[in-house]
C-alpha cells in the first residue's frame, strides 16, 4: 500500500466484525488501523455509557497516534447515540481534542451520510433490543430524519451479532421493503456488512447505509481524502465535498 494512502484511525469495541475494516481498506487503498477498547458488550444503556467513556476513547486515540491518522472514528453506533444528540456531539469533540485530529462517531456519520444523500425518510433494521433502538431513533429525529419502518432483532450482545451469517443479515435488511423510505439503515458495527452493500442496494433499489460503511466514509471525509468507490454502495458514489 502506498505510504501516501489516507489513514483513518478506528476505535473499535471488543471483537466482532472488525474484519470489515480490512476489507474496506483494500477496496479504497486506505489505511484503517484499529485500536480495540474493552468493556461489557451488552446492548444496555449503562454498559454503553461506560464503553464510550471519555478516558476509554482517549486511550484508544493514544494507541492510534503512531499511525499518524488524518482523523479518528469511534466505531460504535450505540456507544454514541446512548448519550443523546448533544452528548454524542460532546463525545466526539472530546475525542478530537484527545487525538489532535478531526473525529466523529458512527452515530453522527449516519446523520452526515443522510444529509449528503438528501434522504429524510428511512427504514431502520436494528439488531438491538427495542429500548436501545429507540435511542437511535431519537438521534435521527433530532436531525429531522423520519423513520417510516423499524425492526429490532432484540439481540443483547455484540458478540452474538458478530456471529450472524450473511443470510441472516439479508433477512434483517430485506424486511424493510417500504417504497416511502429513501434509505435503509443498519446501525451496528458488530454486523459484517461491507461485502453485502451492493447486493442489498440492488435488491431494494435504494441506498443501504451500514454502520461500518458510514464509519469509513465519514473518517475519510474528515481526513480530507476521497470517498468515491465502486463497491461500497451509493454513498460512495457521491463526489468528495458534496
Is-contact 122 208, C-beta < 8 A?
no
pLDDT, tens digit (0-9, with 9 covering 90-100), for 50-75: 888 999 999 999 999 999 999 999 99
Cα–Cα distance list, 47 to 42, 135, 173 (Å):
6, 14, 26
* Fold that domain 8-108+212-237 belongs to in CATH: Rossmann fold (3.40.50)
pLDDT, tens digit (0-9, with 9 covering 90-100), for 123-139: 999 888 888 889 999 99
The alpha carbons of the chain give a radius of gyration, in whole angstroms, of: 16
Helix (H, G, I), strand (E, B) or coil at 41: coil
Is-contact 132 82, C-beta < 8 A?
yes
C-alpha cell at 181: 423510505
Q: Where are the domains of the chain?
A: 8-108+212-237, 116-210
Higher pLDDT, 127 or 2: 127
pLDDT, tens digit (0-9, with 9 covering 90-100), for 180-234: 999 999 999 999 999 999 999 999 999 999 999 999 999 999 999 987 888 999 9
Note whether 8-108+212-237 and 116-210 share their fold: yes
Is-contact 74 48, C-beta < 8 A?
no
C-alpha cell at 142: 433530532
DSSP secondary structure letters along 57-101: HHHHHHHHGGG--SEEEE--SHHHHTTHHHHHHHHHHHHHHHHTS
Higher pLDDT, 83 or 219: 219
Q: What are phi and psi of 29, to 5 degrees?
A: 65, 35
C-alpha cell at 230: 465502486
Architecture field, domain 116-210: 3-Layer(aba) Sandwich (3.40)
A 10 A CB-CB count for 140 gives 22
Amino acid at each position: 500500500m502506498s505510504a501516501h494512502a489516507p489513514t483513518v484511525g478506528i476505535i473499535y469495541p471488543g471483537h466482532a466484525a472488525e474484519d470489515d475494516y480490512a476489507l474496506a481498506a483494500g477496496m479504497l487503498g486506505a489505511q484503517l488501523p484499529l485500536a480495540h477498547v474493552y468493556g461489557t458488550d451488552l446492548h444496555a444503556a449503562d454498559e454503553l455509557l461506560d464503553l464510550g467513556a471519555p478516558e476509554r476513547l482517549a486511550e484508544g486515540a493514544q494507541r492510534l497516534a503512531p499511525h499518524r491518522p488524518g482523523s479518528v472514528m469511534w466505531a460504535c453506533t450505540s456507544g454514541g447515540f446512548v448519550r443523546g444528540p448533544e452528548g454524542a456531539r460532546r463525545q466526539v469533540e472530546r475525542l478530537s481534542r484527545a487525538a489532535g485530529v478531526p473525529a466523529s462517531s458512527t452515530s453522527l456519520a449516519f446523520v452526515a451520510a443522510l444529509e449528503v444523500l438528501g434522504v429524510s425518510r428511512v427504514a431502520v433494521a436494528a439488531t438491538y433490543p427495542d429500548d436501545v433502538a429507540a435511542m437511535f431513533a431519537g438521534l435521527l429525529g433530532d436531525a429531522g430524519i423520519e423513520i417510516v419502518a423499524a425492526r429490532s432483532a432484540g439481540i443483547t450482545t455484540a458478540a452474538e451479532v458478530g456471529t450472524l451469517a450473511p443470510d441472516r443479515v439479508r433477512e434483517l435488511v430485506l424486511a424493510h421493503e417500504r417504497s416511502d423510505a429513501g434509505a435503509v439503515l443498519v446501525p451496528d458495527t458488530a454486523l459484517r456488512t461491507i461485502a453485502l452493500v451492493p447486493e442489498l442496494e440492488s435488491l431494494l433499489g435504494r441506498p443501504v447505509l451500514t454502520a461500518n460503511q458510514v464509519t469509513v466514509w465519514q473518517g475519510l471525509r474528515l481526513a480530507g481524502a476521497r470517498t468515491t468507490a465502486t463497491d461500497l454502495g451509493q454513498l460512495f458514489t457521491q463526489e468528495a465535498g458534496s
